[in-house]
Structures are given as structure tokens and as C-alpha cells.
A and B are shown apart, each in its own frame.
Chain A
Amino acid sequence: MASHAHSHDSTHREGYDFAHPFPVWGLLLVFAALTLLTIITVAQASFDLGNLDVAVTMVIATIKATLVMLFFMHLAFDKPFNLIIFLGSFVFVALFIIFTLSDSRMTSSSFEPVDDEPPVVSTSG
């Protein structure tokens, strides 16, 4: 199996030489950046940024996600069509979440949270 029939004659044929290995230093660099961003996002959680809190964590998460997408998932060098499909899904996600969120605030009064009693102390361990 190790002797590949194609390896001696087909390497330079059109459609046969398409592997573009991503360099190891690039992989390590992306990993280092992701780890650093994780540390930053954990560290910032101990500062009170008020309403900015969610925004900041989400921006950091999105930077991380972009790094993973571009380099680990090869979207930076891939056929653009794959990128368009993938980003297209987020358009629909945004539509879905925006409309559902605004709906949930406007229509349903039965949706309001209930203030019920806390559970009682259990007697058995």
C-alpha cells in the first residue's frame, strides 16, 4: 500500500497536486494566540465592566473563532465558495435570533418568569 502508483507519474498532473500543508510554525502561532486570548477572557471576567462585559467576551470569542476558521479550518486559503456558504449561515442565525428575541419581548406575557419557592431542605443525604 505504501508504494503509491500515482506518486511517480501523476504528481505534476492537473488536479493531482493540490495539497497545501499549513506550516507548523503557523499552527503553533495560531494556538499561542488562542491560548493568550483565553487567558485574557478569563482575566477580564474578574473586572467589572458593567454592560460592556458581554460585548467584550463576545468580541474576544469572535476573534478566537475567526482564527480557528481562517487557519485551522483553512478558510483563508480555501475556495471562496465554502466561506460564502459558511458566513451565509450566520446571516440566517442573526435573522432567527433577532426576530425571536424581539418577539419574545413583545408578545408573550405568559413568558414572564415565575417567582416560585426554593426547594426544601432534603432530609436524606
Chain B
Amino acid sequence: MATTEALPETHDSHGHDHDHPPFLAHHFDTPEQQFDSGKLGMWLFLVTEILFFSGLFCAYAIFRAQRPEVFIGCSEFLNTKLGAINTGVLLFSSLTMAWAVRCAQTEEFKKLTGMLAATLSCAMIFLGVKSIEYSHKWELGLLPPAFYSYHPDNPHHEGVSMYLIYMALPFAIGLLGLVIWFLKAKASGDLFAIAVAKPMIVVFACFFVGVGLGTILESGETDHHSADHHAAADHDSSETAAAIAAAPSDTAAADGRALSSSDDSIRDRLARDETNTGIRGEVRARQRQGVVAGTGVVPRGAEIAGPIASVPTNVNTRSQAGVFFGIYYVMTGIHAIHILAGIGVLTWLLVRSVRQDFNRQYFGPVDYVGLYWHIVDLIWIYLFPLLYLIR
């Protein structure tokens, strides 16, 4: 290494009897000391993250303690399948991240780049699925209190949501930019740029894999959708469309507005058909919400003073469901911002890993980013059951 010749002169003066490796800052005696100091700093940062998120969990706890039935009722609107898939994706990204730290320690450079790219891809899939969840809820009017406008009889949105396009646009532009950069690098023979651009193209493409995955799972869901939504939105899911067409009265199924508003008998009759998953799901969700909001559940500590009629039966108001969605968006949104920040630092690591900056004495940055990434995963581990799995 060229620097080893020059370094002793400048560093002997402050008492080193050995040469500096280029990665060792000269106020540290050994790489281990450097690593441990950085790690301590990272842990302190993670503590501030825990305290920061605890404020959100505290808000959640207060509102859930006051109105458990609101949380149960609104949780019906969150798609457990999408949440579970995202949990799996994040857990897998944690695996690849921990593996990346190992690769940095064992100096397997190719594998390190691959593992970082895999982690980044999982992060992108997570965001893609999340954007489907968000855009779908925004279209329904399931928003924080000030904007909350959900009503079961609202006309359903058809086709691709504008919100989804807005959210996907930065990623599409990023993907386009990377492809252009890759082609330019290819033309000029810049091997380093090619080695960086290739995995990053895969990473950005993975956002759209997530969008596709979310669309498929969302359209297959049966939790709270009425039939017209299925009939309208499932252009791609011919299976469900066929199932609805196969139902005894497909005209009634297609004209879902009349169904969802009043005609319970037709709906119940349709729901008896096994293949009619959309209507079956809606009926089941309504029954469950009825039980939850009505007489079925008496939350601990709640007082029932009046007759049954005075017990609130509708949690679908701004100060109830609206507050739930306010909490939901802030918690998952800030988590998603952390994912975005993670994507930023992981990209930085990917570039450095292509540059082969890391070795068994200098893997600190990979380790620290890994710790951050695991904390983000850790928070999701709690968010998922608290938001999606309430009943």
C-alpha cells in the first residue's frame, strides 16, 4: 500500500510504533478500539430511537385503553396478509443484513455486495407493498381525523390510484436514472459504475415487485370489501372475477351499491355461495363489526349505563376511526421514513462494498448500519401485531 511508506513519518511523532492501516483514524490505537467506540455511539443513537418511538407507542396505548372497540373495528380495514408479507420481507432483510456483516468480517466482497443488494431489495418490496396499502386506504377515505371521509356507501375507486402513481413516481424516476447511468457506464467502460448500477437497478425494480405483490394480495383479500369493488378492481385477477360471474345472480353482484347499502337478504343469499369470497368476506366483516360495536364485547372497565340502544354502534367517525388512522399513519409512516433512511445508508454501503473498503479489521460501517436496520425491523415486529392483528 502506497501510504504505508509515508505514514510512519507523520505518525511516529505521537507515539505509534506501527504503521496505520488507511482505515484507522489516528486518534485510535487499534482497529478494535475504533470499532468499539463507533459501536457505542451507534447504540446510544439506537437508544434515542427507542425513546422516540416509545412516544408513538404511548399514544397508541392511551387511545387503545380508552376505546378498545375502535381499534378492533378499524383493524378490520388493515389487510393482515399484506402486513404478514411485509413482516416476512423485513425479517428476511434482517437475515441478509446480518449475513452482510458476516461477509464483511470474512472479506467475501462479492457476497457482501449481494447481501446488501438483497437487503435493499427487501426494503424496496416493503415500501412497494406499503404504497399499495396507503393508496388503497386514501382512496377509501380512511384518513387522519381532519380528512377522514370513509363511508361504506361511497363509490369505489376504479383502476390505478393517483396516490399510488405519486408514490411510485420517485422510484420510477430513480430506476430510469439508474438505467441511463448504467448504459452510459457501459458505453464508456466504467467498470466501477457498472458494478454499482447493476445491483441498484435490481433494487429499484424491486419497488415495483412490491407493488405487484401488494396488488395481487390486496385484490385477493376478503376482509372488508364489497362485491362491486372486487368486480371493478380485479381486472387482473380473473379468478375472482370468474368466481363472482359464477354466482347465481351476477348482475346483483356487479351492482354492488344496492347490495352494500340495504339489501341484506340478497347479500346473505349470495354469501352462502362458497365461491363468492368478496361478499362472504363483507358479510363476515359486518357481522364481526356488529358484534364488536354492539352488544357482543364489553371492554374491561367500560360502563354500560343505559339500554343497549345507547351503546355507540358506529365507530366510523372522525374522532374514533379517524384517530385510529391518525395513529396508524404516524406510526407506520415514521417507520417507513426510517426504511427510506436505511435505503440511503445501505446504498452508501453498497458503493463502498463495490470499492472493497471493508475488511476483517474495518467492518464497522456495515455493522452499525446493520444495528440500525435491525432496530427498524424490531419496531415493525411490534407494530405488526399491534395494528394488524387486533380482534
A-to-B contact residues, CB < 8 Å: 1-7, 10, 13-22, 24, 27-28, 30-31, 34-35, 38, 41-42, 45-46, 48, 51, 53, 57-58, 60-61, 64-65, 68-69, 71-74, 78-79, 81-82, 85-86, 88-90, 92-93, 96-97, 100-101, 104-105, 111-122, 124-125
Contact = CB atoms under 8 A, between A and B. Distances in A.
Given A15-B32, A96-B58, A101-B65, A4 B359 contact: yes
A46 B80 CA distance: 11
7 contacts: A42-B84, A53-B390, A71-B98, A73-B370, A82-B40, A97-B61, A122-B151
B287 interface: no
A112 B106 CA distance: 57
B171 to A, nearest CB: 26
B338 interface: no
Interface string B132-157: 00000000010000001111011111
Interface residues of B, number: 86
B94 A19 contact: no
Contacts of A68: 94, 374, 377-378, 381
A89 B51 contact: yes
Given A4-B1, A97-B58, A116 B319 contact: yes
Contacts of B374: 68-69, 72-73
B43 A85 contact: yes
Contacts of A41: 384-385, 389
B378 A69 contact: yes
A122 B50 contact: no
B300 A51 contact: yes
A5 to B, nearest CB: 4
Contacts of A97: 54, 57-58, 61
Contact of B31 (A16, A24, A27, A30): A16
Interface in B249-268: none
Given A6-B361, A10-B21, A61-B385, 5 more contacts: A21-B105, A31-B92, A60-B385, A86-B43, A122-B141
Contacts of B110: none
Nearest to A63: B381
B12 interface: no
Given A10-B18, A24-B99, A57-B389, A38 B151 contact: no
